[in-house]
Structure 1
Amino acid sequence: MAKKTTKKAKTQANFLSQNIGKILLALVATGSFAIAFGSEKIAKLLPISSGNSGCLKQFYRDVPPILNRESLKKDSYALCFNDFNVMYSGVSKTPLWSAEYLTPERLSIKIKREDNFHEETRLQQAHRALLTDYRGSGYDRGHMAPNGDMGNTAAQFDSFSLANIVPQAPKNNQEVWRKLEEAVRAIVTKQHRDAYIVTGPVFEGKRLKTIGQGVIVPTAVYKAVYLPKQGISGAYYAPNNDSQQVKVVSICYVEEKLGINLFPQLTEQQKRNIYQLPVSAQQVKANKDISYSHWDGQSQCAEEVDTASIQAQQKQFASGQTQAAESKFPQIDEETKQALIKQLVDMLVQYFLQLLR
């Protein structure tokens, strides 16, 4: 029995001696493979992060809305403000969207409104909306990211930039839209829910009205809402006239009209859900959940966005700000983590065996 054991040990020693080079090579290659394989798998399963830029915090999972229509990208500007961000169009001379992240803590700070409408000097003169464009136009200067959402004077001042303003019908701006803004704030404050908001104009039809030196008047305005902790989604859609009409629709409904992916990190199924969003603050009750309404199976959701496009858009908003050298991934649940580990180990074993053959 001892002789057999000695013979077996010698065989193993000879194998190790003859294959030590392959084994070392396999270990090095396995380490490299682990990094590449792990990065690829994780990148597919986790939300994309572009560092710790404060500007990106206004977006759900740090991912901005993405312009899918090429025509919308012409003369566009990614603008980072205090407490909100804007994608501005030098063609319409209005924002295409304004995005903000609302929390109970942010809205707990109340400051007195001080109107200070001003032109946005970061824009080229030819693309800039002017104060004179709105004078005598018959339209209000309508905020997309509302002044009422701002909890400090710097953010309030920024909200009065004409880059955050559209020509809005008076009754739409002062009545129905004001009530919707109050309703969204009430959801956050009364029900203690964080909310990601994207607000902007809709331009439909071939003949669009303009004011001043080419500021295009929207045919409608929208406000898309997502409450991440509850998974509640939906959007308000209101014609830009004095009818005071408004309806609650799916995010896909708005995306189809815009050609913009408003929340690239949400699935199509999530964006087709419609909840009964309140249209006034009085409808919001502290202990009453927002009810599910129905599923939108008709609207055409925006196309999915690839990683390269997302990172390019993130870079525009994060430019000029300090970023971490490495992406900081959010936490993943234990089940997903264990599945990734098992898959990685199985692949590594197979890869190691192939190298030794």
Structure 2
Amino acid sequence: MTSKILFSTLAIASILSAASTSCGGIYYGNNAPDILNPKLTPKTKELCYSEFAVMHSGLSRTPLWSAEHLYGSKLNIKVERSNDFHPEERLNSDERAELSDYARSGYDRGHMSPARDFNTPQSESECFTLANMVPQDHDNNTKLWSGIEEATRTLAKQKGELYVITGPIFIGTNLQRIGGRVLVPTKIFKAIYDPSSNQGAAYLVNNAPGNEYQEINIAQLEQLTNIRIFPKMAAISKQTPMPLPSPQMHGKDLANMNSSLPVPAPKTVKPSASLKEQCGTKHTCKEMTSCEEATFYFTQCHEAHLDGDGDGKPCNKLCK
């Protein structure tokens, strides 16, 4: 079954969902992501678990994101996999996914916060709630995405701790639903923030077979999702991606197979003069003639003050 697009990818400047959260200890700075797109906000509900948190959408019947605060020291503790897939009883029956929606659908019940990240029987069992799942291509789930999850755990062990936000992206005019109810994402992301270096980046994949993935900066991801992923992350840090380990599969990595996916990057102005000369000419939003020009000065000339409200976008009157 198909559905008309529910989630616009056009960015807006105003915040429609506050970043406050009742799920303590999960988010960087204890601030949940901000929802910037009004079409994403209806029927949302925050769900707190012992070691992760979900912002659930009753429209898609999937999470908008699932969040973790990963500690490398805990990842060495293993618990038996429960496979306790279950509907989320805290959600209204007409807004949640059911096991019957996934049955014979051709899609996996794809974890956003994966079972191997958790080290207690309670948290491991909790992550099998369908509120933490999206319909995921089987090849993607068991190969490339599994490798990305393993690479993230490796990075957490190296860094000590990471904040991780994982979620689906719905783009297109003919989105599919399984069971006639649960929306199938076209892309899936895993955003990572390292508090020790104040750096972050994200993996981005198509919800499809193959080994193609991309590493993008947090600003690009926020533009693509219309969600301010890490509200407390410095705007200038969002522009430059930190290095991420390549996905690890069966003792190998996919570094040589990495290829770019089409991602809308922020537009920039190509200066006719040298970068040094161009960057020395303007310094305020009043001097900018277009959003493209403001973005150039913000991203290329490091004029961080152009983002006065810290939303990752310069000169809001121009870049609405």
SS at 1:177 equivalent: helix
Q: Are residues 1:251 and 2:218 paired?
A: yes
Larger Rg: 1
Q: Structure 1 residue aligned with 2:227, among 241, 260, 269?
A: 260
In structure 1, the residue matched to 2:41 is: 73
Could you tell me how far apart the structure 2 residues matched to 1:283 and 1:268 are? Answer: 34
- How big is the shift at 1:50? 7.5
In the TM superposition, 1:1-357 aligns within 5 A as: 55-189=23-157, 191-281=158-248, 298=267, 304=310
Tell me the number of residue pairs that the alignment of Structure 1 and Structure 2 aligns: 244
| One-letter code aligned to 2:44 | S
- Amino acid of the structure 1 residue aligned with 2:166: T
- The change in CA–CA distance for 1:298 and 1:244 in structure 2 (over 3 A counts) is same
TM-score, normalising length: structure 2: 0.71
Higher relative contact order by CA 8 Å / sep ≥ 6: 1 or 2? 1
Distance 1:57 1:177 in 2: 26
Aligned residue identity for 2:89: T
Contact 1:171–1:244 (8 Å) recurs in 2: no
Distance 1:251 1:226 in 2: 9
CA displacement at 1:269 relative to structure 2: 1.1
Secondary structure (helix, strand or coil) at the match of 1:273 reads coil
Which runs of 5 or more residues in structure 1 are unaligned? 1-47, 285-295, 306-357
Q: Do the aligned partners of 2:88 and 2:96 also contact (CA within 8 Å) in 1?
A: yes
Which amino acid is 1:100 matched to?
A: E
**CA distance in structure 2 between the partners assigned to 1:304 and 1:172 by the alignment:** 35
CA distance in 2, matches of 1:118, 1:71: 27
Secondary structure, in 3 states, of the residue corresponding to 2:211?
A: coil
Task: Name the amino acid aligned to 2:65.
Answer: W
* Identity, % of aligned positions: 36
Amino acid at match of 2:234: T
Distance 1:204 1:168 in 2: 15
Distance change in 2, residues 1:275/1:203 (3 Å): same
The CA RMSD measured in Å over matched residues stands at: 2.4
Choose between structure 1 and 2: higher helix proportion. 1
